[in-house]
C-alpha cells in the first residue's frame, strides 16, 4: 500500500495536485478496500481524481455516468437481442434447448461498466460519476454490487470479481444520498483549491507558463468565484483561461484589459455572468492581484 506522501507525489507526477486530506483518503481507500465518495460542487476536480488515480496505478478507468432513469441494463449488462434473433432464425429446426444455450452465451452478452469492472483480471478504477443524478432505486441496487463485488446473470450464473476495483463515487449534492450508501463508503468533501494549490495545478498542466502569471491567474480566479455568479467556474476553466492567455502572449493579467475581458469566454458560460463581469469589473479585480 502506498502512503499518503507517496500518493500525493505520484498524483502530482501525473498532473493532479492533491492536498494532504485527499491523499490520506486515497491511501485509506486502498488500505481498507472501500469505495471513496467525493462530494463537492461541479468543477472542483472530482472526476479528475479518478482519472489521475488510474494513471497513477497504470490501471484501466471504467466510467459509469449516472443520470435520471439509469437502470440495471445500462449499468450492468444486457443481451444483444438483435444478434440473438438472427441466431435463432439461423438455427431454425435445431434443438430448442441447444439454441437457447447458444444465444444466452458470452457471445451475445453486452458488458456494461459495473460488470466490466468486476470481470477485469487487472484491478481497474471504477468511476461512478454523479451518483446523485441517479434515483434511489438504482442507489439501492448499487449497494449490493459494492458490498459483494459479484453479480448473478440468470443464464450464466454468478460472476465474482477476480480483483476488487478501486471505486470512486462523485456527487454534486443535487439530492441527499442515502445513509446506507454513505456508510458503505469513505468520504471526502472536495472544494475549490486555494490560491497556492490552484497555481500549482496550472504549473503542473502548463509547465511553460511563467510562475508569476500562474499565481496571478489563481488569485484572480479566487476573486471571480466570490462574485455573484450563476455558474461558478471550475478548475478546468482556470486551465483553459491560462492556456488562452499564454497562447496570446499575455505576460500579466493587468497588461491588456481588452484581451483579458475577451478571453472570459473560457471562464464564464452564461450570458448573465458575462454581463456581470464587465470590462471595468474584471480590470478592477485584475489590478488587485497583479
pLDDT tens-digit series, residues 137-159: 999 889 888 888 888 888 888 88
pLDDT band at residue 9 using 50, 70 and 90 as cut-offs: very high
Q: What is the pTM of this model?
A: 0.89
d(CA 247, CA 241): 10
Q: Are 210 and 252 contacting, i.e. CB atoms less than 8 angstroms apart? A: no
d(CA 225, CA 276): 12
pLDDT band at residue 1 using 50, 70 and 90 as cut-offs: low
d(CA 125, CA 35): 10
Residue 16, φ and ψ in degrees, nearest 5: -115, 120
- Kindly state the percentage of the chain with pLDDT values over 90: 76
- H-helix or E-strand spanning residue 153: strand 150-153
Q: 153 has which bridge partners?
A: 157
Position 2 pLDDT exceeds 80: no
pLDDT in tens, 249-258: 999 999 888 9
Residue whose C-alpha is closest to residue 289's, from 265, 249, 255: 255
Q: What is the DSSP string of 30-72?
A: HHHT--EEEE--TTSSHHHHHHHHHHHHT--EEEEE--TT--H
Amino acid at each position: 500500500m502506498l502512503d499518503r506522501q507517496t500518493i500525493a507525489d505520484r498524483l502530482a507526477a501525473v498532473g493532479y495536485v492533491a492536498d494532504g486530506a485527499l491523499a490520506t483518503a486515497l491511501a485509506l481507500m486502498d488500505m481498507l478496500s472501500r469505495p471513496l465518495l467525493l462530494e463537492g460542487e461541479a468543477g472542483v476536480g472530482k472526476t479528475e481524481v479518478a482519472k489521475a488515480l488510474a494513471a497513477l496505478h497504470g490501471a484501466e478507468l471504467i466510467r459509469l455516468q449516472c443520470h435520471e432513469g439509469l437502470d440495471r441494463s445500462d449499468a450492468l449488462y444486457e443481451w444483444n437481442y438483435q444478434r440473438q434473433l438472427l441466431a435463432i432464425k439461423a438455427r431454425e429446426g435445431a434443438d430448442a434447448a441447444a439454441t437457447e444455450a447458444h444465444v444466452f452465451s458470452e457471445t451475445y452478452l453486452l458488458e456494461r461498466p459495473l460488470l466490466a469492472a468486476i470481470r477485469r483480471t487487472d484491478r481497474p478504477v471504477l468511476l461512478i460519476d454523479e451518483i446523485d443524478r441517479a434515483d434511489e432505486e438504482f442507489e439501492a441496487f448499487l449497494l449490493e454490487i459494492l458490498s459483494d463485488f459479484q453479480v448473478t446473470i440468470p443464464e450464466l450464473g454468478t460472476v465474482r470479481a477476480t480483483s476488487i476495483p478501486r471505486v470512486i463515487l462523485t456527487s454534486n449534492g443535487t439530492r441527499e444520498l442515502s445513509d446506507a450508501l454513505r456508510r458503505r463508503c469513505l468520504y471526502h468533501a472536495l472544494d475549490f483549491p486555494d490560491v497556492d494549490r490552484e497555481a500549482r495545478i496550472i504549473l503542473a498542466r502548463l509547465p511553460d507558463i511563467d510562475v508569476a502569471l500562474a499565481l496571478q491567474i489563481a488569485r484572480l480566479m479566487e476573486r471571480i468565484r466570490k462574485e455573484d455568479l450563476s455558474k461558478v467556474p471550475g478548475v478546468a476553466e482556470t486551465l483553459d483561461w491560462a492556456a488562452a492567455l499564454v497562447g496570446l502572449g499575455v505576460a500579466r493579467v493587468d497588461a491588456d484589459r481588452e484581451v483579458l475581458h475577451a478571453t472570459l469566454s473560457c471562464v464564464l458560460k452564461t450570458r448573465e455572468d458575462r454581463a456581470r463581469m464587465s470590462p471595468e469589473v474584471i480590470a478592477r479585480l485584475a489590478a488587485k492581484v497583479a
